Amino acid sequence: MKVLVTNEELCIGCHLCEDVCSQAWYKEMNRAKSSIRITSLGNAEWGMAVCAQCGECIDICPTNALYRDKSGVVRLNKKECVGCLSCVGFCPTSTMYYHEDYVEPIKCISCGLCTKECPTGAITIEVLSG
Amino acid sequence: MGAVEITKDRIEQIEAGHKVLAEFRYDPPQVEQGYAGQTLYVNVSDNVISARPVDEGMKNTFVGGRGFDLWLLWNAVTGDTKWDSPGNEVVIAAGPMGGITQYPGTGKSIAVTISPLTGTVVDSNVGGYFGPLLKFAGFDAIEVQGIAEEEVIVLVDGNDGLVQILTAPEESVNSHLLSEEMVALFAQKPQEKQGVSSVSAGVGAEHTRVGCLNFSFYDPRRQAVRLKQAGRGGIGTVLRKKRVKALVVKYVGLKGDSNHPADLLTIQETGAKMHREIYERDPIMFEMRKDGTNHLTKIMNDYDILPVHNFRYGAHPEAEKIYSPHFQEYFEYSAPDGCWYGCTLACAKFATGLELRSGPYKGQTVTVDGPEYETVAGIGANCGIWDAHAVLEANFYCDTYGIDTISFATAMAFAMECYEEGILNREVTGGLELNFGNADAMLEALHHMGRGEGFGVIIGQGIRRMKQLFAEEYGANAQFLQDIGMEAKGLEYSEYVTKESLAQQGGYGLANKGPQHDEAWLIFMDAVNNQIPTFEDKAEALHYFPMWRTWFGLNGLCKLPWNDVEPADNRTRYSGIDAARVPEHVQNYVEIFRAVTGREDVQSSEDLIHMSEIVYNFQRLFNLKMGFGTREHDAIPYRSVGPVTDVEYESRAERYDGQLREHVGLDPGAMTTQEKRLALRRFREEQYEKLIDAVYRRRGWDENGIPTLETVRTLGIDFPDVVELIENHTNG
């Protein structure tokens, strides 16, 4: 299963990953629309929050809009989604997001675009077995 | 996993019986800020269908949901309309907040009618998808009037803009079959199944006065139609009287903004916060997601509040046998259990693998939703049946027959006490041995209601009519029956023992529709925590909580996410009665209401209470219009107040003796049990009358329980017919 792996010690808080994510998926440089979030922890330390593809959201979805694809990534079928945000509240890592411009939540699909832009290698994509 | 498969041949058979009796085409309006802006009127006598506008005055005065229902019904009936008159209606509405998906508990429908049990207006709230889908199909409410000449269904297709009355000779009547048939008929492809919801009753509703309505929703994970019940007051009986097999709505295309709220972001933020709270708090609070409302059975038994043997007692040594663990083995947990999208409190439970041991479906393995606490406490504890399988089986049959489990259970418990007291015998019951604990007899009486024959049909007429019959035909002591018959206003009590809570005696006795706990549940606040000691305290609680709970019904909301989970800091930020109000959740509702409707005049919880005061007083006056709604109709049976028999007194002698000493100033050591019981009765009955006086004053009613002219003027419901009604009852 493809999953993003973060190393917070390497993060310098440049937010490039957030920009590239929102630009790729919402055609807009808007960090509030990114599915990866970088937050300052003070003292030049940064928190990195992104979906671990654990799939717990699949079980909470009332419309079967969330599913695991062949490569193991948890994806959202927006056509089926009714925007209830149950998945947002029940995400164990709080890495499902929403924005008022959209009724459906914002979900990382491990596309890896952010890993290519990260200048320090703080975020990488790995293929985990199972 | 679907319990019922509807074959292609069966669908063709059903379709062949359809003949269009009336048809109405409309342009489905866009819902704006929670309102479709029109209601649907269907008359099955005359085959008339029309749309009626909703104006700003109606929205501002009655809000929606129960408020709309009552206003539409008020205009449809006269004081002479009976439950079985063609002029009576079944009215169903969601409400402006109904159908949002982001906050838990936002899919309720509210149904009203003139009740076959009480003779006046009754309201009942219910989950399932019908109300929200009806709104998105273009209607804030549906009124069904008249009595059809032959069996019909009413179809509202919100995608095609089409309403039809169709003959329905081939459809099943029982709801577990009918609801599956409706989905099979009207969902053109599998993805459309969640867009079809029906309202139906069953054969039991035809033969009794305790018929319920089943509201369906399709569960895509279990591939089964599930049913939620508008149980109280016999609304299902009225639907079957009209020869309506089902009301069906189809709306495919629900999205997170179908309600077109004024401010989506606030709803998203509040909803996501609430989902998180449930995720973190429910597992360490009430475990609604795991057990549903039946987690209450243990608590009620522990506090001597669980009704046992027709409310004689509040606890039983065998109660453990119907606690949650005994139902968990039937529950299937693989999928979300909300009865509307986004309800993460998810108290609906899906029981599978239930092999029926009785009745027309004997031997079949079926599924059933629930059981709710009320069903477990009523059919289980109150009838002394400590058997989870029997409770589930009765739950299944009550639902599919269209019978209210609460009235069924409380009426059954009454009949059982009458049997044990010798008022009834095998000759009278046709061989039914109605002892407490006889599950087979309970089930057989239920099947009598399904078949329309046997003593069960008499039980299904409700306690008020049984009391009259038993006194007139079998020579029973009418006063004793009055004391032990747990009904008020003609409606059977729901399942809590109120003997030690004067406030909850009022909560039941003063409830507009009759003794149902959805207006007030004050037992812990009153009897356990002693937070409302004076009459004025109790009256204040009997103002605030019924008004607050009424508000859910105006908006298409479920009460449970308000206080069946609490923020982590609720009990440290607030204490006592303030904590019981769960202020953070109340504020959530203020904000979401404003975010949906855009009503900037609504800024505080007082504004919400004011909305309810309008509708609540209007409903009280509706009772007056129908010939009720005065003090004498707020009387309650003594079984709900104190021990009726010496045996009951002795079972809690220490408690009652202490009260005689402390509150009445008597020495119980010098008195017989009967003397003590009667002295306690005099004291408690006086207390109830004083409570009523205090509540009437707080609510702005006169001493006969009628809202004063000043009250209705303040509330803006001083319509000419309302003023005339009040003047007729206060001048004469």
| Cα gap B722→B688, rounded to integer Å | 29
pLDDT digits (tens, 9 = 90+) for B682-724: 999 999 999 999 999 999 999 999 999 999 999 999 999 999 9
Length of chain B (residues): 732
| Shortest Cα distance, chain B CAs vs residue A118, angstroms | 30
Mean pLDDT of B72-76: 98
Lowest-pLDDT range, B221-225, B476-480, B715-719?
Answer: B221-225
Which chain A residues contact residue B276 at CB under 8 A? 88-90, 94
In this prediction, residue B345 has a pLDDT band, given cuts at 50, 70 and 90, of very high
| Cα gap B506→B382, rounded to integer Å | 21
Question: Residue B231 is which amino acid?
Answer: G
Surface of B (380-439) touching A: CB under 8 A: none
In this prediction, residue A92 has a pLDDT band, given cuts at 50, 70 and 90, of very high
Which chain B residues contact residue A76 at CB under 8 A? none
| Shortest Cα distance, chain A CAs vs residue B257, angstroms | 7
| Cα gap B677→B674, rounded to integer Å | 5
Mean pLDDT of B210-226: 96
pLDDT, chain B, mean: 97
| Cα gap B364→B176, rounded to integer Å | 13
B32 beta partners: B35
- Tokens 């599924």 correspond to B367
- Which residue range(s) make up the domain with A17? 2-127
* Sheet with strand B89-93: strands edge to edge: B48-53, B38-43, B141-145, B89-93, B109-114, B121-126
Supply the pLDDT for residue B546. Answer: 98
Which chain A residues contact residue B342 at CB under 8 A? 62, 82, 84-86
Residue B664 predicted with pLDDT over 90: yes
CB A83 within 8 A of CB A94: no
Supply the pLDDT for residue B370. Answer: 84
Domains of chain B: 8-250 (3.60.9.10), 286-492 (1.10.569.10), 534-565+600-731 (1.10.599.10)
Number of compact structural domains in chain A:
1
Mean pLDDT of B620-647: 98
- Count of pairs with CB atoms under 8 A, one residue in A, one in B: 74
| Cα gap B538→B342, rounded to integer Å | 36
Q: Looking at chain B, which residue has its C-alpha nearest residue A99?
A: B265
Q: Both tokens of residue B282?
A: 């429910």
pLDDT digits (tens, 9 = 90+) for B379-422: 999 999 999 999 999 999 999 999 999 999 999 999 999 999 99
Q: In b/e form, how buried is each residue of B207-217, taking b as 16+ CB within 10 angstroms? A: bbbbbbbbbbb
Which chain A residues contact residue B268 at CB under 8 A? 85, 98, 100
Supply the pLDDT for residue A1. Answer: 85
Which chain A residues contact residue B255 at CB under 8 A? 82-83, 103
Q: Is B189 on the interface with A (CB under 8 A)?
A: no
CB B688 within 8 A of CB B506: yes
Supply the pLDDT for residue A121. Answer: 96
Mean pLDDT of A114-124: 96
CB–CB of A100 and B268 under 8 A? yes
Mean pLDDT of B520-525: 95
Residue B140 predicted with pLDDT over 90: yes
Residue B2 predicted with pLDDT over 80: no
Supply the pLDDT for residue B3. Answer: 62
Which chain A residues contact residue B275 at CB under 8 A? 85-86, 88-90
Residue B236 predicted with pLDDT over 50: yes
User: Does the bond joining B261 to the residue before it have cis omega, within 30 degrees of 0?
Assistant: no
pLDDT digits (tens, 9 = 90+) for B20-48: 999 999 999 999 999 999 999 999 999 99
pLDDT digits (tens, 9 = 90+) for B278-328: 999 999 999 999 999 999 999 999 999 999 999 999 999 999 999 999 999
CATH code of residue A51: 3.30.70.20
Supply the pLDDT for residue B1. Answer: 43
pLDDT digits (tens, 9 = 90+) for A103-112: 999 999 999 9
In this prediction, residue A130 has a pLDDT band, given cuts at 50, 70 and 90, of low
CB nearest to B102's CB, from A59, A63, A83: A83
**Angle, in degrees to the nearest 10, between helices B8-16 and B175-186:** 90
